[in-house]
Structures are given as structure tokens and as C-alpha cells.
């Protein structure tokens, strides 16, 4: 999918079933390195990033099959603990194979990650955490080489509650000798989903979802089955689409307990939103009001929600200050929104968004997954056609994105 054309659309009406969470399933797939046997993961979205991780596991010698949202991984006794550049540079999340490889194989060679350009994205906390457990690293020719005879439990204090560093440390500590305590750990729901999966495999991970995670290492883990949690970022995208052109939606399978802060913020903007027996219900009957937004680690407003929130703030009544506190450079889509007539100014890591009545359709370019989705949302609030190019970015993180929006009344074409 290279282009998405968004025609002016009326109110959205109906139900959308959420897919499984990209930011959980990629880590669950990496965790299959930890035990021999056949794993079955359900509710796995057919998205490009899942294909990337599947290619990475295959290149290490695992068997991967993905059909009808069921992913089967066959982990043989011996694997090749290397993550090559051509695969890692396609997807930054590949770095989370480092911990499981060190824990289960005792060595790893992983290319330094590329991924979305949100400004500097170091992996120092990943390496420091694994070094605390006894791993030894060297870097050469763009690769990290890691060794560890047997990892030993330790106290790890994260300088910042990094999602990836927490996940790497947890997946390394499950087979380490003794107890590991991770302080200032990330608390995202995807971390709790990973811990649930590992505990099903026989691990002992306590406190996932809180700032302190305790892991008691075990000798061996086993292959299991698991259902992936729904994608709260996909949910936020569809709620923003509703905010852009009004209407009423039920998001099936949505977990309101994963989106408290977002639902509160959208309520503050005038969206009627509540839990529903099948997930989350929301309705927008009139122009939304502006509200300030500040991105924070979970349970704060996720940085991944911000691009779509800015799209609806661009047509809301009033002025909003939007602060990006995680990725200093995550504002590239703003120029594209300004091309559509938005009144937004950026000062360092703040955006001042002055709402306009309507945006105007224009040719725009997607720079990453969420930026692309945000431009489609903006197109729903515009006069005239919006043509989003480089839409392949969107396919990295969204399953049947255009189709799901069309099913509730959005006038969208893909090519």
C-alpha cells in the first residue's frame, strides 16, 4: 500500500474490532527464543512489523507460520544467535532478542537498531541492564556482540522507565541464577502481557505493570499458547477518527483499563466516551474543545497517541499546548498538517495548536506509522481530497486500516 486517498467523510457509525497489540506481540515473538518447542500465539495482527520479526526468527533457525491471526513458532534445540543488519534496520524492536538470546544461548550478535527517526534513540539502558546481570558486550562493524556464561540475578535501576530496556531485562532475568529486581520499570500494559506469557512458560515474574518488577530465575521454560492483548494505540487512532468527523463507535475488544488517561483526555475535549460490554463506546456530536496534552510513560498519555491527538486538536475549538517528553524529534508530521491548513507552531519540544474550523485536503507524506495514521485522521476533517503517500508506513502497525474505517463510513481508497 503506497497511497491512501481520504475523501471528505460524514459521521462514522458502527463497530470496529481491534487487532492484537503490535507492541506486545513483537516481544512475545522474541521470547519464544527462551524455550524449545511449539508456541501458538492468537490474535496476532497481519502487519509488516510482525512479518519483520518473523523473518528475524526464521533467520535464526526458528520455524514461523502466520495464518488467520494465529502465529505458530517452532523453536528447535539449536539456533543461530545473530540478528543481521538488513533485518534489524527495518525494525528497531528487533533489539529485544538480545536479552532472550543471552539468557538461553549465552551469546548474541545483534546489529545496532535503526527504525523511526524520532531523534536520538540510544540503547544504553538495554546494555547497562544486561551488564548488571553479567553480560559482557563489545561493539564492532555496526554490531553488538554479547556473551554471558550464566546470567546472575541483580538489582537494576532504570534511569528512565524505558519499555524496551525493561522487556530485555525481564526476558534475560527469567533464566538467570537467583533474583532480579528492576526498579523504575516501564508499566505499559504490553509489559504485563509479556510477563503473563513468560509466567505461562514457567517463569516467575512478579509486579509487572508496577514500577518494581521482581524475577526469580528458573532452570527451564516451556513452549505455550497465549492470546495477545488488544492494541490500545489502534483504539486511540479510531477514537481520533471519530473526533475528526463525528459519529458513534463501539470499539470491540478494547480494554478501557489500558486507556484511562486517554479516555479522560478525550472526555475533557467533549467526546462522550465510556466502557461498553464489548469494549469502549464513544460519540461525538459537536466540535471538540482544545485541551493541553503532555506525553509521559504509562499510565500517562502515550507519545504514540500524540500525532492523532494533534490532528483533532488542529480542528478543535481553542488553543492547546502539546508537550512531547519522550522523543524530542517526534514532530515531523506537523509540517504535513500545516500543509493542510493547520495553525501549529513548534517551540523546542512543544507544539502550540490553534484550532481552525476545517482543514483542506492536500498531498502529504507519511514519515512513520503513527504520523501516517494521523494524516488519514486529519484527512477525515478536511475539505477536498487528502492523498497520503508512503502509506506503507501505516501497514507496519495497522491491520486492514482503511478497510476498518470504510466499514464505519469513512470514504477512503488505497492504492
Q: Which residues bind ligand EPZ (CB under 6 A)?
A: 22-23, 26, 92-93, 116, 121-126, 160, 162-165, 186, 302-304, 326-327, 369-370, 397
Active site (annotated) includes residue 385: no
Q: Do you find a cis peptide bond into 299, omega within 30 degrees of 0?
A: yes
Q: What is the DSSP string of 196-219?
A: HHHHHTT--EE-BTBS-EEEE--S
For 87-98, b where at least 16 C-beta lie within 10 A, e where not — what string? bbebbbbbbbbb
For 29-43, b where at least 16 C-beta lie within 10 A, e where not — what string? bbbbbbbbeebebeb
Shortest spacing between CB 99 and ligand EPZ, in angstroms:
12
Which alpha helices (H) appear in 298-352, and where do they start and end? 306-313, 333-339
Q: Residue 282's beta-bridge partner residues? A: 249, 273
Question: Where would I find the beta strands (DSSP E) of 141-271?
Answer: 143-147, 155-157, 179-183, 205-206, 213-216, 225-227, 247-252
Q: What is the largest CA-CA distance in the chain?
A: 62
Shortest spacing between CB 319 and ligand EPZ, in angstroms:
26
**287/349 with CB nearer ligand EPZ:** 349
**How far apart are the C-alpha atoms of 40 and 153, rounded to whole Å?**
29
**270/307 with CB nearer ligand EPZ:** 307
**44/125 with CB nearer ligand EPZ:** 125
**87/326 with CB nearer ligand EPZ:** 326
82: enclosing H helix or E strand:
strand 82-83
Q: Which residue is nearest to ligand EPZ (CB)?
A: 164
**90/92 with CB nearer ligand EPZ:** 92
Report residue 78 as a C-alpha cell: 539449536
Q: What single DSSP character describes residue 276?
A: E
**How far apart are the C-alpha atoms of 52 and 26, rounded to whole Å?**
9
Shortest spacing between CB 220 and ligand EPZ, in angstroms:
27
Shortest spacing between CB 331 and ligand EPZ, in angstroms:
14
Shortest spacing between CB 226 and ligand EPZ, in angstroms:
17
Q: Residue 177's beta-bridge partner residues? A: 152
Cα distances from 175 to residues 108, 301, 360, 380, 409, in angstroms, run 15, 33, 55, 49, 50
Residue with cell string 535503526: 114
Q: Pseudo-torsion of CA 249, 339, 398, 35, nearest 10°?
A: -130
323: enclosing H helix or E strand:
strand 319-323
**327/401 with CB nearer ligand EPZ:** 327
**93/315 with CB nearer ligand EPZ:** 93
Which alpha helices (H) appear in 314-397, and where do they start and end? 333-339, 369-380, 392-397
The active-site residue, picked from 49, 116, 304, 368, is 116
105 and 83 Cβ atoms separated by less than 8 Å: no
Geometric angle at alpha carbon 52, from 50 and 55, rounded to 5°: 110
**How far apart are the C-alpha atoms of 68 and 74, rounded to whole Å?**
17
Shortest spacing between CB 180 and ligand EPZ, in angstroms:
17
**24/290 with CB nearer ligand EPZ:** 24
Shortest spacing between CB 285 and ligand EPZ, in angstroms:
30
* Active site positions, annotated: 116
Amino acid at each position: 500500500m503506497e497511497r491512501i486517498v481520504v475523501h471528505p467523510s460524514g459521521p462514522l457509525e458502527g463497530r470496529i474490532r481491534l487487532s492484537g497489540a503490535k507492541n506486545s506481540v513483537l516481544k512475545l515473538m522474541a521470547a519464544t527464543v527462551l524455550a524449545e518447542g511449539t508456541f501458538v500465539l492468537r490474535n496476532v495482527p497481519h502487519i509488516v512489523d510482525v512479518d519483520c520479526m518473523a523473518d528475524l526468527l526464521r533467520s535464526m533457525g526458528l520455524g514461523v507460520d502466520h495464518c488467520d491471526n494465529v502465529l505458530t513458532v517452532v523453536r528447535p534445540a539449536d539456533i543461530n544467535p545473530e540478528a543481521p543488519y538488513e533485518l534489524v534496520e527495518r525494525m528497531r524492536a528487533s533489539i529485544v532478542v538480545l536479552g532472550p538470546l543471552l539468557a538461553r544461548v549465552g551469546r548474541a550478535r545483534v546489529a545496532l537498531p535503526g527504525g523511526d527517526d524520532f531523534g536520538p534513540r540510544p540503547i544504553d539502558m538495554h546494555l547497562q541492564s544486561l551488564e548488571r546481570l553479567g553480560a559482557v558486550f563489545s561493539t564492532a562493524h555496526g554490531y553488538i556482540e554479547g556473551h554471558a556464561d550464566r546470567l546472575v540475578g541483580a538489582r537494576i535501576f532504570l534511569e528512565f522507565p524505558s519499555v524496551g530496556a525493561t522487556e530485555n531485562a525481564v526476558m534475560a532475568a527469567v533464566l538467570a541464577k537467583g533474583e532480579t529486581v528492576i526498579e523504575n520499570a516501564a508499566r505499559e500494559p504490553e509489559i504485563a502481557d509479556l510477563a503473563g506469557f513468560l509466567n505461562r512458560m514457567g517463569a516467575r515474574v512478579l509486579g509487572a505493570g508496577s514500577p518494581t518488577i521482581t524475577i526469580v530465575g528458573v532452570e527451564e521454560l516451556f513452549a505455550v499458547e497465549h492470546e495477545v492483548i488488544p492494541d490500545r494505540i489502534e483504539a486511540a487512532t479510531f477514537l481520533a477518527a471519530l473526533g475528526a468527523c463525528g459519529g458513534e463507535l463501539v470499539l470491540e475488544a478494547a480494554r478501557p483499563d489500558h486507556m484511562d488517561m486517554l479516555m479522560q483526555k478525550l472526555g475533557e475535549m467533549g467526546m462522550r466516551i465510556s466502557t461498553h460490554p464489548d469494549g469502549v463506546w464513544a460519540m461525538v456530536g459537536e466540535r471538540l474543545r482544545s485541551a493541553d496534552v503532555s506525553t509521559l510513560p504509562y499510565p500517562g498519555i502515550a507519545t504514540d497517541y500524540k500525532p492523532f491527538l494533534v490532528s483533532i486538536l488542529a480542528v478543535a475549538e481553542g488553543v492547546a499546548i502539546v508537550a512531547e517528553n519522550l522523543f524530542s524529534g517526534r514532530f515531523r508530521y506537523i509540517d504535513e498538517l500545516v500543509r493542510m491548513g493547520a495553525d501549529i507552531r513548534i517551540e523546542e519540544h512543544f507544539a502550540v495548536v490553534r484550532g481552525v474550523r476545517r482543514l483542506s485536503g492536500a498531498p502529504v507524506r507519511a514519515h512513520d506509522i503513527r504520523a501516517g495514521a494521523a494524516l488519514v485522521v486529519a484527512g477525515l476533517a478536511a475539505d477536498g481530497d487528502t492523498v497520503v503517500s508512503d502509506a506503507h508506513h501505516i501497514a507496519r502497525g495497522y491491520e486492514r486500516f482503511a478497510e476498518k474505517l470504510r466499514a464505519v463510513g469513512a470514504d477512503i481508497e488505497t492504492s
